[in-house]
């Protein structure tokens, strides 16, 4: 059976850090509230006005190509999961294709908010499993600072900017994406959305005055459904694949709120040392959270490790995936620039 396996990861994080102390000077909030309610200490912000999501996505793709030791013209498909495309069109995937010189690729953007990476991973896997393509790049990238209202304390403390990518290639011996359960429910759209700028409310002075070009979230309402949705779907994917908590090496959750992640882990019967958690350093980077975790934990991952990926986000969109990891992360030759960045 031909599966699609993740064979490489890459990432990009802007240098600038926005700490809880910085936010205390911008809105009526405090470090203790943010840490205890969300688990976040700081986030990264792409400050340059002339750089959008495609810049971060292309940097993550280049990092991945270096780690995998392949050239951009070997890539067949580029899928960019994002809710902050550089522009409505062209697709961010086209801008990434051009920036990295992927001269043989086609591709597209995928909009599923915080579940975007999971939806992109599942979609990309089909191209590999079918035999149509050999190398599919799935990128989760969001410049959330571009749509965050830094006068709204209930949302501006949550989000950060980042991009991370995985490469999907064929695998014949049992590793790869083995199962996925995905859902949407548009009934909840108003609880997490950006009303302005689209065809329903094209940008006008009025939409700007009403701050409709910023993300809007009814936090408490989303929290309730997210806790339930992520825990339920993770339990479902474990059950139907005969996995117990002991079989799972890592839960790889979307990083929206540490309390949601803790509840999901409890429901799965897995201890906190088996949960990938980096929300303290990056906040909620929307489509980038899950591949960013895979990047950060890559050195710990071994061929055959069972991972459960899970997300819940705007739309509503949610899902979980069962991935059997395909390579020993400790064997990866990390590019020198990345080593310097980690040490510096």
Yes or no: say if 247 and 271 are a contact pair by the CB < 8 Å rule: no
Angle between helices 92-100 and 53-68 (to 10 degrees): 50
Q: Which two tokens stand for residue 254?
A: 């979307």
Query: What are the residues facing 24 on neighbouring strands?
Result: none
Q: Is 27 helix (H, G, I), strand (E, B) or coil?
A: coil
Q: Smallest distance, Å, CB 323 to ligand UT7?
A: 21
183 as an active site residue: the answer is no
Of the residues 216, 254, 293, 295, only one is catalytic, namely 254
38 contacts ligand UT7 (rule: CB under 6 A): yes
Closest CB to ligand UT7: residue number = 219
**At its nearest, how many Å lie between ligand UT7 and the CB of residue 207?**
23
37 binds ligand UT7 (CB under 6 A): yes
Does residue number 162 form part of the binding site for ligand UT7 (CB under 6 A)? no
The strand order across the sheet containing 176-184 reads: 176-184, 317-324, 306-313, 250-253
Which of helix, strand or coil describes residue 137? strand
Q: Which of 165, 108, 100, 169 is nearest to 136 (CA)?
A: 169
User: Which CB atom, from 81 or from 105, has the smaller least distance to ligand UT7?
Assistant: 81
Distance CA 130, CA 211 (A): 45
**Which residues, 230 to 269, sit near ligand UT7 by CB under 6 A?**
256-257, 260
Task: Identify whether 94 is a catalytic site residue.
Answer: no
Q: Could you give the CA distance from residue 45 to residue 16 in angstroms, rounded to a whole number? A: 5
Residues 55-84 that bind ligand UT7 (CB under 6 A): none
Q: Does 115 bind ligand UT7 (CB under 6 A)?
A: no
Q: Is 104 a catalytic residue?
A: no
Name the catalytic one among 11, 156, 216, 284. Answer: 284
Q: How far is the CB of 156 from ligand UT7 (least distance, A)?
A: 8
Smallest distance from ligand UT7 to CB 260, Å: 6
Q: Which of 222, 293, 301, 320 binds ligand UT7 (CB under 6 A)?
A: 222
CA distances (Å), 248 to each of 263, 277, 309, in order?
16, 15, 11
Site for ligand UT7 in 292-331 (CB under 6 A): 312-313
Q: Which stretch binds ligand UT7 (CB under 6 A): 32-40, 71-79, 199-207, 328-336?
A: 32-40
Which 182-221 residues touch ligand UT7, going by CB under 6 A?
219-220
User: Minimum CB separation from ligand UT7 for residue 191, in Å?
Assistant: 9
DSSP state for residue 131 in the 8-state scheme: T
Helices (H), the chain: 20-24, 31-38, 53-68, 92-100, 116-129, 153-156, 205-209, 219-240, 258-268, 279-282, 289-297, 336-343
The distance of Cα 217 from the centroid of its chain, to the nearest Å, equals 18
- Regarding 290 and contact with ligand UT7 (CB under 6 A), the answer is no
Nearer to ligand UT7, 121 or 222 (CB): 222
Name the residues annotated as catalytic: 114, 254, 284
- List interacting residues with ligand UT7 (CB under 6 A): 29, 33, 37-38, 114, 153-154, 157, 219-220, 222-223, 226, 256-257, 260, 284, 312-313
């Amino acid at each position: 059976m031909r599966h699609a396996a993740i064979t490489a990861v890459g990432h990009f994080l802007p240098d600038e850090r926005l700490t809880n102390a910085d936010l205390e000077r911008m809105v009526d909030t405090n470090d203790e509230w943010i840490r205890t309610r969300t688990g976040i200490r700081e986030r990264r912000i792409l400050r340059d006005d002339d750089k959008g999501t495609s810049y971060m996505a292309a940097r993550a793709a280049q990092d991945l190509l270096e780690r995998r030791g392949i050239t951009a013209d070997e890539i067949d498909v580029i899928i960019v999961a994002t809710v902050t495309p550089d522009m409505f069109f062209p697709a961010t995937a086209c801008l990434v294709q051009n920036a990295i010189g992927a001269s043989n690729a086609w591709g597209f953007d995928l909009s599923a908010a915080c579940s975007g990476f999971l939806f992109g991973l599942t979609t990309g896997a089909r191209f590999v499993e079918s035999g149509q393509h050999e190398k599919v790049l799935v990128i989760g990238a969001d410049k959330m600072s571009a749509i965050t209202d830094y006068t709204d304390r209930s949302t501006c403390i949550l989000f950060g900017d980042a991009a991370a990518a995985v490469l999907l290639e064929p695998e014949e011996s049992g590793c790869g994406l083995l199962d996925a359960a995905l859902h949407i429910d548009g009934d909840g759209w108003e609880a997490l959305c950006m009303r302005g700028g689209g065809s329903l409310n094209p940008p006008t002075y009025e939409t700007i005055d009403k701050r409709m070009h910023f993300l809007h979230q009814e936090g408490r309402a989303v929290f309730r459904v997210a806790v339930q949705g992520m825990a339920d779907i993770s339990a479902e994917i474990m059950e139907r694949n005969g996995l117990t908590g002991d079989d799972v090496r890592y839960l790889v959750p979307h990083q929206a709120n540490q309390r949601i992640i803790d509840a999901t882990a409890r429901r799965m019967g897995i201890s906190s040392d088996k949960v990938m958690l980096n929300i303290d350093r990056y906040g909620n980077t929307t489509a980038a959270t899950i591949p960013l975790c895979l990047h950060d934990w890559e050195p710990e991952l071994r061929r055959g490790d069972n991972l459960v990926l899970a997300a819940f986000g705007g739309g509503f969109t949610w899902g979980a995936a069962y991935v059997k990891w395909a390579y020993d992360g400790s064997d990866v030759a990390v590019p020198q620039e990345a080593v310097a960045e980690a040490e510096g």
